[in-house]
A and B are shown apart, each in its own frame.
Chain A
Amino acid sequence: MKLTRHLLRLLALLFSFAMVAAACGADEVSVDVGIEDETPSGDSDDSEASGDTLTMAIVAPSASDDLAFTQSMIDAIDALDRDIDLQVTDGTFVVDDAAAAIRGYAEDGVEVIIAHGTQFGGPLSEIAPEFPDTTFIWGTSSDTQGLDNVFAYYPAADEGGYVNGVLAAAVTQTGNIGVIGPVEAGDAVAYINGFAKGAEDSGDVNVAITYTGSFSDVALMAEAAQAHLSNDVDVLTGSSQAVVGAVGVASENGVAWFGTQANQTSLDPELVVASQVYHWEVVLEEMLALRDGGTLGGEAFEVNLENGGLEIEFNDGFELPDGARDAADAAIDGIIDGSIDTGA
């Protein structure tokens, strides 16, 4: 009995650990063990600006090539029309590890440090004031935390969601559309709410929404998609890194899929209809221009359809019904001119 009690205590600890592991996946991206592409070296000679070269660093929670959140920022830096010396620390699942990396880059004299994860806001509020000459860029967040050397960024994910919803209403034949989300928070909920409103504004359709409760449980996402299919759904969409499981179900059953955060066409070139893609470079250019003028932070920026920070990328391999593309273009125009309310 004593042993059983001990084991049950151990088991309770085990459950707690499993829950923490699952919950830690609940932040935009995967549960990764920290592996650095390049680490702060402590040797400032390597990272100091040479000529017009701008030294930048990204600290991000998931892999640089995750086809989603982190990759969107890496791609954005690549798209900037500047000479940049970039260092990356990705896979910082543990916030304390990210904090150490952010501080390390700041101590090394890196001029612009991007803390790419909402969860990094806590340590950033402590580190940024200690390095007033460094620009910190933090997202996704609409709040600079009152710091003069912090820029913030966030996506109007509801806008692309709305456009995808308009397209989904045109594509569905059963009138039933399934949506799978992770946790009802962040840009996932903005995308999903926008998607549902876009679909419902465009036709007599039923939009069923399932939140699995996990950003990382791929199997659960797949079964959530299966549950939708058993209810006669013929169009699916979803948000979070775990949607790859749901895309697999869509592929297996020949069901159309709409993506967000990154272009997900490569997951199924025949069934992915369109993807909302983040282009952070639009707001990064503005931030760096302000920095050039002496403003190191203090403003928040939104990427949206109007400023080109959000883009709907269509898959040419999917044949849209007549009028669907026009309806999507009209929705984009309506959102930009303010005549359409995405429900945000």
Chain B
Amino acid sequence: MSDFFTMSILVATVASGIRLATPYLLAGLGETVGQRSGVLNLGVDGVMQLSAFFAYWTVLETDNLILGSFVGVGVGLVMGVIYAVITVVLQAQQGISGIGIFLFGLGFSDLMFRRQVGTPKPANQLPDVPIPLLSDIPVIGEALFEHSWLTYLAFAMVPLLAFMLRKTTFGMNIRAVGENPQAADSLGVSVGWTRTYAILIGNAMAGLAGAALVLELGIFQPNLTAGLGFIAVALVYFGAWRPAGVMSGALLYGLVAAVVLQWKAQGIIPRSASDIAAMAPAVLTIIALVVLAGRVQAPSALTRPFSRH
């Protein structure tokens, strides 16, 4: 255990936790916006998988990481349009529709990978971009300020989205249609369009999360996300539908996973307990959800389609 508390190990563990938290954070923030408007999207994982594949394929063909990131966002937007048509226009049941999107993303990304790439091939990875001055701060500089630009973007989105939701007209409209769409409608807010925009933002961020995941790894595999998108949805509840709360959940999840991996590497966790320890992040999240269950309030109109009739 003493090795764990050396500075270099602690720095590496925190940096690892932040890397692991990034896709959860991006996807969770996007889902927060969607849910605040009253739309639950269980298809986040499928959107991430599709975006991850197309971002990877783009980078494989062009070596352009920026283009790959934009392609990831673009695929998310396309899926957002589809999901908006299904849930806002056609008013389909959101839970089932989301599962459908997930299954489509899982299957289609696999199909495209087989047809277009086949065997796993390494692609360019996102480089770490040390932030001048901040990365020179002893200890925390290396842990916090030597990451990829997508990681910085993910954390920068937290205050931006919080501001948007709390202080802007658009953000207040999102919250209004998520709490009481009839009242919002009577005040002239277009519930359908507001929810559509929220869905597009959510899916675009899920797409960016998929791109961040695959470009950090530099390689794609079928089912790359391994259920990550579902955890991101859970983190929205954990974070009580607040960007800062989602960030806390993502960091907790990532850091616990990083600590477990570090303890396994150092033999602190015996091999006999290895599989149990692997569940630690999920178990902690479930416990936190149970504790929070009676203390947080979901958007009142969450999962409820809106109709004037």
Contact = CB atoms under 8 A, between A and B. Distances in A.
Interface of A: 1, 3-5, 7-8, 10-12, 14-15, 17-19, 21-22, 25, 30-33, 35, 62-63, 65-67, 71, 91, 178, 183-184, 208-214, 216-220, 222-224, 226-231, 241-242, 244-245, 247-248, 251-252, 266-268
A228 B226 CA distance: 22
A230 B237 contact: no
Contacts of A22: 226-227
Interface range on chain B: under 10, 10 to 19, 20 to 34, or 35 or more?
35 or more
Given A219-B213, A223-B261, A241-B221, A230 B271 contact: no
B229 to A, nearest CB: 8
A267 to B, nearest CB: 6
A21 B300 contact: no
Nearest to B300: A3
Interface centre among B110, B111, B233, B300 (most CB of A within 10 A): B110
Nearest to B301: A3
Contacts of A227: 12-13, 16, 258, 261-262, 264-265
Interface stretch (B155-163, B180-188, B200-208, B275-283): B275-283
Contacts of A208: 265-267
Given A67-B120, A213-B275, A219-B20, A33 B107 contact: yes
Given A214-B278, A230-B13, A18 B294 contact: no
Given A14-B234, A67-B119, A223-B258, A35 B217 contact: no
Contact of A25 (B42, B223, B264, B266): B223
Nearest to A231: B265
A216 to B, nearest CB: 5
Interface string B95-120: 10000000100110011011000111
A230 B120 contact: no
B230 A15 contact: yes
Contacts of A244: 120, 217, 219, 221
- Dominant SS among interface residues on chain B: helix
Contacts of A10: 95
Contacts of B224: 218-219
A234 B223 CA distance: 29
A267 B265 CA distance: 24
Interface in B175-233: 213, 216-219, 221-224, 226-228, 230-231, 233
B168 interface: no
Interface string B2-21: 01000011001100100110
Interface of B: 3, 8-9, 12-13, 16, 19-20, 23, 42, 45, 95, 103, 106-107, 110-111, 113-114, 118-122, 125, 213, 216-219, 221-224, 226-228, 230-231, 233-234, 237, 257-258, 261-262, 264-267, 271, 274-275, 277-279, 282, 286, 289-290, 293-294, 296-298, 300, 302-303
Q: Which 6 pairs show the lowest CB-CB distances between chains A and B?
A: A213-B278, A18-B227, A230-B12, A33-B107, A31-B223, A18-B230
Given A19-B282, A210-B264, A248-B122, 16 more contacts: A8-B237, A15-B282, A17-B230, A19-B227, A22-B226, A25-B223, A31-B106, A63-B118, A209-B271, A211-B278, A218-B226, A219-B226, A223-B19, A230-B265, A244-B217, A266-B121
Nearest to B218: A248
A175 to B, nearest CB: 15
A231 B275 contact: no
A73 B290 CA distance: 47
A116 to B, nearest CB: 17
A216 B294 CA distance: 35
B265 A224 contact: yes
Nearest to B115: A35
A266 to B, nearest CB: 7
B219 A32 contact: no
Nearest to A1: B294
Given A63-B118, A184-B274, A230-B12, A14 B42 contact: yes
Contacts of B216: 219, 222
A3 B289 contact: no
